[in-house]
Homo-oligomer: A and B are copies of this chain.
Amino acid sequence: MKKFDAMFHGGDVLTYKGLYDGEIIDFSSNINPLGPPEGLYRELMNNFSTLKSYPDIKYRELKKSIGEYLKCNSENVVLGNGAVEIINNFIQLFHRVVVFLPSFSEYEKRGNVLGKEVLKLHLNKEFRIDIQALNETLKKGDILVIGNPNNPTGLRLKKEEILGIYDIVVQKKAFLLLDEAFFEFSQEDYDSIELLKSWNFKRAAIIRAATKFFSLPGIRLGYACTSIDMSKEYKEIELPWSINSMADCAGRYIFKCRDFIEKSKVYINGERKFLLKELSKLDGIKVFYTESNYILIKLLNWNEDFVFCYFLKKGLLIRKCSSFEGLDKTYIRVAIKDRKSNMKLVDAFKELESV
């Protein structure tokens, strides 16, 4: 099995703390800078006593709340200790895993850990799905995992692409797992849950999570929407009580925070435009368009290690991307944060150019 470790994920500020005097700004993990929603901490506090009992093993209230947010029935909802456990559990239910690279490393890793055959296809030059390769590769019993928007590329499938891919999946009797942990950051010209509802999600599941948009990576709340049959299969294999009581409580609160949701969408959209525009002006980098809250950047004059250290010296932690299969040491990824931080990032890039 290929070796994976912590370096394959962002957010590891603790490791680099000693290398900078002051607080490091973390551009390596992609968390909404406005969250979590107001009032959540008070809500959690008022529910501390729930820690003394097991959470409802069926998570009835939580699933109801998620169903309302996702606009599906609570019977369609499955849960996980973060999106990554949902990915793991779905992969466990299938024979082979098909992934497109570059993408989130855990798709392949969980396949390997669970002893599944992992088929690695490559996104095309524009980082889009190669439909022909998919059609040639996908077989009955496969699970196809696609990030939408995809991490680290930031691109989202178009509505027609999803429908085309789902067509192939149905035809081959395979299964489509859309990892939409970054859904709310994208311009919602379509909602894949609405899109696949007409087929009762028969051969599909769509993962969402509280982690990124609701700024709660520490609370571990992932959820997904799938067919009732598949949700039954999922329940047969999932670990009991995998959602802790604080995540259970949060999941019954945050989706009602409509102001927070609206404000965040507008804010991230504005900052995305700002950062894309400012970074695009610079010569030493190529900036990829994004529909998420992070930006993939190709370094034209340096490698990721040089830039990583250069930025760390300024208190900025970025994500090196050579650990993503399909990318090399000339790529980095940066999160879209608040304006002040984003300006620091732009300034650091400008200074880098003059080195």
Contacts and interface: CB of A to CB of B under 8 A. Distances in A.
A48 interface: yes
Contacts of A235: 5
Interface stretch (A54-62, A147-155, A326-334): A54-62
B52 A44 contact: no
Nearest to A88: B239
Contact of A14 (B52, B56, B219): B56
Nearest to A113: B237
Contacts of A84: 239-241
A323 to B, nearest CB: 13
A139 interface: no
Given A4-B236, A81-B244, A219-B244, 18 more contacts: A3-B236, A6-B58, A12-B54, A14-B58, A15-B58, A31-B53, A51-B216, A51-B218, A51-B219, A52-B215, A53-B218, A54-B217, A82-B241, A82-B242, A220-B244, A244-B244, A244-B247, A246-B246
A11 B57 contact: yes
A185 B113 CA distance: 35
Protomer copies? 2
A9 interface: yes
A26 B56 CA distance: 13
A218 B50 contact: yes
A241 B5 CA distance: 12
Interface string A221-235: 000000000000001
Given A1-B236, A44-B48, A113-B92, A55 B241 contact: no
Q: Kindly name the residue among A31, A55, A248 whose own CB sees the greatest number of chain B CB atoms within 10 A.
A: A55
Given A14-B60, A56-B14, A240 B51 contact: no
A245 B250 CA distance: 14
A94 to B, nearest CB: 13
A81 B219 CA distance: 12
Nearest to A15: B58
Contact of A53 (B4, B9, B13, B56): B13
Contacts of A50: 218
Contact of A218 (B14, B52, B237): B52
Contacts of A219: 51, 244-246
A35 interface: yes
Contacts of A45: 41, 45
